[in-house]
Structures are given as C-alpha cells and as structure tokens.
Amino acid sequence: MSVRLNKFISDAGICSRREADRFIKSGNVRVNGKAAKLGDLVSQEDHVLVNGNSVEMRTQRIYLAYNKPVGITSTTDRNDPDNILKALMYHGGRVFPVGRLDKDSEGLILFTDDGDIVNKILRASNKHDKEYIVSVDKPVTTQFIRQMAEGVSILGVMTRRCTVEKINTYTIRVVLNQGLNRQIRRVCEVLGYGVTRLKRIRVMNIDLNGIPPGSWRFLTDSEIASLLQAVKGSRKEASPRSAKKRSASGAPGGSGSPRKKPSGDAGGVDSPKSGSGKSDSAKSTKGKPRNSRSRSDAKIAENKKDKKKGVRKGTGKTTGGRKSGTTRSAPKPGRSSNRNDSKPTKKGASKSKRSGSRSKK
C-alpha cells in the first residue's frame, strides 16, 4: 500500500511529518535515487534515503503506558529540562504522548508512534473514558458530588455529565469522557474546593496497575487489540458540522435553572430538548429571509408615516390623509364634508375619484 512520503518518514520514527516536509524541500530526501518532491507516494518496495540514511517502513507500532510523576512537564520540547520524553527514556524509536497531564498531576499517559490513534483517543466527541483519583482540601459533601456530576461552567462552556463517587472524606473517583484544560481543578475551584492531589489511573481499557512512578511498560497484545477495537468507529477529524459549546446558564450553585441545549450535537450530552433558549417568535420565523422582511417592514412603516402626516410623496403637498398621488376637490354645497357620507350620483363620478380627478359640470 502506498503512503505519502512524509508519513512514511514519520512512521519510521525519523521525525514528524512537518520536519519530513522540510527535509524534502531542502533536497535531503531521495526515492529510488531521485530527489523527492512534496506529495510523493512510496511503498515498501521503494528505497528511501533521508540525509543519506536508508529508511524502512515500520510494520509494528509502538504502544507504551507510562506512570508520570509530579514535576514532569507533558511537553516534547527538548529545551524544557523536565520534558516528558527525557523522563520516559525510551530509545526504541520516536514516540509521542497521547494527551497530557499538568506538571503537578501524576498518573497514566500513553505513548505511541501511531498518529492516527492519538486523534481518535483525544477527540472529545468520541467520548472515551479517563478515570482519576482526586483528593481535595475540604470534606466531600453530597452537594459537591452532585454538582460536579451534573456539570459546571468553566472556560465559557458547561462540562459534560460525568461519574463522581466518594472514596473517603477527602477523596473522590471521577470518570470523564471530556478533556478541557485543567478541567477537574477548575471545576473544584468553582465549587469552592482546592485539589491537593490528582492521579489518572485509567485511559479507556488501559490502567496503571503494576507500573511504578517514573516507569513504563509495553502494552500487551490483548490490550492493543482492545484499544484498536474501541477506537475503530471513532473520528480522527472534526465533524463537518462544527459542534457548539453548551450554554453555561444552567451552572450549579446558581438559581438551579435548567441548562440550555445548543444547536450543535457535541457538548449537549443528555441535555433536555426543551429550553433551547429561542423564543416562540424566533422559531416561527425560521427559514424566512430576514433581509426581505426588514425591507418590507421599513416600507410599510414609511407609508404609514406619510399617510399620517398627509404629505404627498415627492411634492410636499397635503393630501388630506389620502394616498399620495391623489387629489381632493372642495365639497359642493349641500354635501357633507365627510368623505364617508358623500355618495356619488353617477357611476362616472365614482370612477373619476379612483383615477384622482373629478369632471366639472
């Protein structure tokens, strides 16, 4: 099977795809003795050289489970003395972390050289579970557990409903299928708690059992098979229909009003269909062109204004309340000045009124 040259080089553990593109542009990559070009396709039968070194397609992927200690930064930047790649100390090929943990957090992080699976695991819309043990600085209450489980407003969005269980007076177990920045710490802060310890113990079907802090292990064949099966139907790209953020108006700790459901499909998990935040009038006008309606309303308002003032359009002369473009002669003796009381004696007179003039006798 043929793949793009930059992916071929990246999968071989040489560098990232972006770096591979730079090597190709600079002329440091040759395929079957010829200078490579961006977008070239290669297969296992092709002979690829990068900076003069032969590169072979790696057929077996690498999957590692690492127990990150507190104080290690989840970055691949080699300039950071506490970067996670330096702490991992794996020399069997190029790997990168699946997600991150805060520097002051600890626990399980997966490493792999499989770029496709990374996006499938991390994308929030795929709803893959991650489990944490969290210690806080105050006794855990029923209200605290309920509010965290139902969702809290942070970073302008409503967190998804999650599983929260009390372990002891100061410790809870949290299972999330979402991964906002410092999510658990921010939620606890909103609810008046401080996190004293946060440890991730599971990512999907992979747990931390048997891995000491600062150590790693290869995933077993059965773990890899289960992991690949779990992400089989997951997206690695964003949905064509962009997901909208959930409304934060139903945040716990406030008035207790029901949360609103956004029009998007991601982030409105288990939210009720009612309370969409739209008025009945807005719903009834759905699908109608706003611009044409606005112009029509403005024209009607202008006509009413002209009629009220009695000004003939374009002339500035009064029309006595009639539509612009018509005239009205003085009433004849014996006739009422009220327009509604006057009755034409001839059929022709009625027609002359409509045409804007009256014949004289």
- The catalytic residue positions are 102
Q: Over the range 71-84, which residues count as b (16 or more CB within 10 Å of their CB) and which as e? A: ebbbebeeeeeebb
Q: How do 163-168 and 216-218 pair as beta strands?
A: unpaired
Question: Among 78, 57, 53, which Cα is nearest to 2's?
Answer: 57
Q: What is the C-alpha to C-alpha distance for residues 216 and 148, in angstroms, rounded to an integer?
A: 32
Residues 85, 91, 95: CA angle, nearest 5 degrees:
50
Q: What are phi and psi of 133, to 5 degrees?
A: -110, 125
Q: What is the CA radius of gyration of the chain?
A: 36
Closest of 130, 121, 106 to residue 207, by C-alpha: 130
> What distances in angstroms separate CA 55 from CA 8, 192, 346, one per listed residue?
9, 55, 105
Point out which residues pair with 130 in neighbouring strands.
Answer: 176, 203
Residues 282, 306 contacting (CB under 8 angstroms): no
Are 319 and 311 spatial neighbours (Cβ–Cβ below 8 Å)?
A: yes
Report the C-alpha gap between 283 and 280 in whole angstroms: 5
| CA neighbor of 165 nearest in space, from 184, 149, 188 | 149
Distance, in Å, from the CA atom of 59 to the CA atom of 243, rounded to the nearest integer, reads: 36
Non-local (6+) Cβ contacts of 151 within 8 A are 158, 159, 160, 161, 162, 246, 250, 251, 252, 259
